[in-house]
Amino acid sequence: GQQLNQSPQSMFIQEGEDVSMNCTSSSIFNTWLWYKQDPGEGPVLLIALYKAGELTSNGRLTAQFGITRKDSFLNISASIPSDVGIYFCAGQRGGADGLTFGKGTHLIIQP
């Protein structure tokens, strides 16, 4: 099945640093979603984006839906230890459609 191009694959950062990751697609999606997954658990929704160009924040997280509807980015400001985990972007074409996921970004925070 299709996967979105998500980068970087992994990030090693210091606590307090800002983080940025992005996803691109060869086709258009009408909804972009960002999830965080901890080991052995299901993904947890962080931010949902519904309109091209939309910029949405959730606490220290900010995400944008690209104008072309083929990309999205997620920023995390002032990272803390509990931010460690795997972040996935996902695209959805219609509300009744399943999600197409990126390959994930593994965030590791060094003390």
28 is a site residue for another protein (CB under 8 A) = no
43 is a site residue for another protein (CB under 8 A) = yes
Residues 6+ apart with CB under 8 A from 46: 34, 35, 36, 58, 61, 63, 74, 87
What are 47's two structure tokens? Answer: 């931010």
Q: Is the dihedral of CA 14, 49, 7, 45 positive or negative?
A: positive
Residue range at the interface with another protein (CB under 8 A); choices 15-23, 61-69, 76-84, 100-108: 100-108
Closer CB to another protein, 19 or 33, in the complex: 33
Judge contact between 58 and 48, C-beta under 8 A.
Answer: no
Residue range at the interface with another protein (CB under 8 A); choices 20-28, 45-53, 58-66, 67-75: 45-53
The residue type found at 70 is K
15 is a site residue for another protein (CB under 8 A) = no
Interface residues with another protein (CB under 8 A) are 1, 3, 30-31, 33, 35, 40-45, 48, 50, 88, 90, 92, 94-104
